[in-house]
Amino acid sequence: MKDIVDAVVSGRTGARDIAALRLPGSYRAATLHKSEAGMFEGMATADKDPRKSIHLDEVPVPEVGPGEALVAVMASSINYNTVWSAIFEPVPTFAFLERYGRRGELARRHDLPYHVIGSDLAGVVLRTGPGVTRWQPGDDVVAHCLSVELESADGHGDTMLDPEQRIWGYETNFGGLAEIALVKSNQLMPKPGHLTWEEAAAPGLVNSTAYRQLVSRNGAAMKQGDNVLIWGASGGLGSYATQLVLSGGATPICVVSSEHKAAICRAMGAEAVIDRSAEGYRFWRDEHTQDPKEWKRFGARIRELTGGEDVDIVFEHPGRETFGASVYVTRKGGTVVTCASTSGYTHEYDNRYLWMSLKRIVGTHFANYRESWEANRLIAKGRIHPTLSRVHPLAQAGQAAYDVHRNLHHGKVGVLCLAPREGLGVRDEEMRARHLDAINRFRTDRSPAG
């Protein structure tokens, strides 16, 4: 593995240089163990501790199949799906791997007693399988996490509709929190040259998801001038949603839970920010009863910030706790667009506010190939910036996931895999110099990046 790291760090990444390097037989990876899938049974969700379930193991390098690529992972990042998989909720991910394994010979490689997790990476292509022509060893890449088979016509118009749609590193094995990852080659995209490895690995999953959710016709189709309410606006999804809203000529109304997080939103350029903790919204009186007076108080606060307007779009993901309020505060004819249910997936809302005011609820999930590519293009052009906060070594992937589970983080939490330190991997110094102020402004919690 040292040869690979030396070659990448010293920039000797010509196709022949990399192809000449011997592949190691095994690599270090953050894994879950099938034998431990029941370890948290009976515990409250909040008490399940990813530090106990995520291991650092040496695992064999998988064989690269047709249409696939092996990537030397320089850096990765934690997503909320890392948390779900590590607490075995809503179901242990081994159920996905078993189902995938039943598809046939190539897919069977994924059904193992361990699961290498992680759905983001930035790194260098090591090997490509038969039939791959677009990518070659030595290419700097990031990977989006959409794995599809495309054998059915259902996914031909929108790859997210493929019946065999999976999230790589969550519903497949060989994910990005590792020194080597296996991807389908059509997951690969060019790594933005002005970013370090850990910066480039941060946006992938959340930026693509926020792009489909807000900008795409498949989501809310946001337009200039829209008011967009963003829950968790300094978090993983929210910090990209806030940037997409600002860069698309719309107005974000950011909701966060602390003054520090409010300051992060203001640093991104948002002016309307609601600190839900300081303002003490309690949408639920008790476990079973919501409080419409609180929805009204929240709506009035939004109008105060917008000069009397309601929101055209609500960017939803907290789910049960906020959904009733989200439906209520959306303007007549507006859209609640949801991709998750962090606080509970059985939502309750007053349907009179939906049908009488002709509102829409749109469900959305990750992003198709094209949307992922367009989202990455915005990063590469310096229109959207990584919102990276703390960066951990691979051995601390469990701690990194714990921080996200306990909502102790900001933006994205990074993980160094093969990169020996932060700050490496910039290929376009001139572009970095042009964007350095913005890059530093968006890197929460950290000393300025060089």
Q: Which positions from 380 through 439 interact with ligand NAP, judged by CB under 6 A?
A: 404, 407
Considering only 78-86, 99-107, 149-157, 221-229, which stretch makes contact with ligand NAP by CB under 6 A? 78-86
CA distances from 169 to 78, 261, 367, 445 (A): 11, 29, 15, 27
- Asked if 261 interacts with ligand NAP (CB under 6 A), we say yes
3-state SS, residue 116: strand
Q: Which positions from 262 through 291 interact with ligand NAP, judged by CB under 6 A?
A: 276
Q: Which residues of 128-140 are buried (b: 16+ CB within 10 A; e: fewer)?
A: bbeebeebbbbbb
First-to-last alpha carbon distance for the chain, in angstroms, is 27
- Amino acid 242 reads T
Could you tell me the smallest distance in angstroms from the CB atom of residue 158 to ligand NAP?
14
441 membership: H or E segment, kind and range: helix 429-442
CA torsion sign for 159, 161, 167, 168 is negative
Tokens of 162: 């493929």
- Asked if 93 interacts with ligand NAP (CB under 6 A), we say no
The number of beta carbons lying within 10 Å of the beta carbon of residue 418 is 24
Considering only 95-103, 202-210, 266-274, 382-390, which stretch makes contact with ligand NAP by CB under 6 A? 202-210
Residues ≥6 apart with Cβ < 8 Å to 10 = none
Contact between residue 359 and residue 327 where contact means Cβ atoms under 8 Å apart: yes
- Asked if 214 interacts with ligand NAP (CB under 6 A), we say no
Nearest Cα to Cα of residue 191 among 438, 447, 424, 434: 424
- Amino acid 83 reads V
Could you tell me the smallest distance in angstroms from the CB atom of residue 181 to ligand NAP?
19
- Asked if 318 interacts with ligand NAP (CB under 6 A), we say yes
Of 81 and 243, the one with the shorter C-beta distance to ligand NAP is 81
Of 8 and 206, the one with the shorter C-beta distance to ligand NAP is 206
- In the list 12, 51, 365, 441, the residue contacting ligand NAP (rule: CB under 6 A) is 365
Considering only 33-41, 147-155, 188-196, 334-342, which stretch makes contact with ligand NAP by CB under 6 A? 334-342
Q: Pattern 232-251, binding to ligand NAP, x per CB under 6 A?
A: x-xxxxx-------------
- In the list 54, 327, 340, 449, the residue contacting ligand NAP (rule: CB under 6 A) is 340
- Asked if 366 interacts with ligand NAP (CB under 6 A), we say yes
Binding site for ligand NAP (CB under 6 A): 79-81, 84, 205-206, 209, 231-232, 234-238, 255-257, 261, 276, 317-318, 321-322, 339-340, 342-343, 365-366, 404, 407
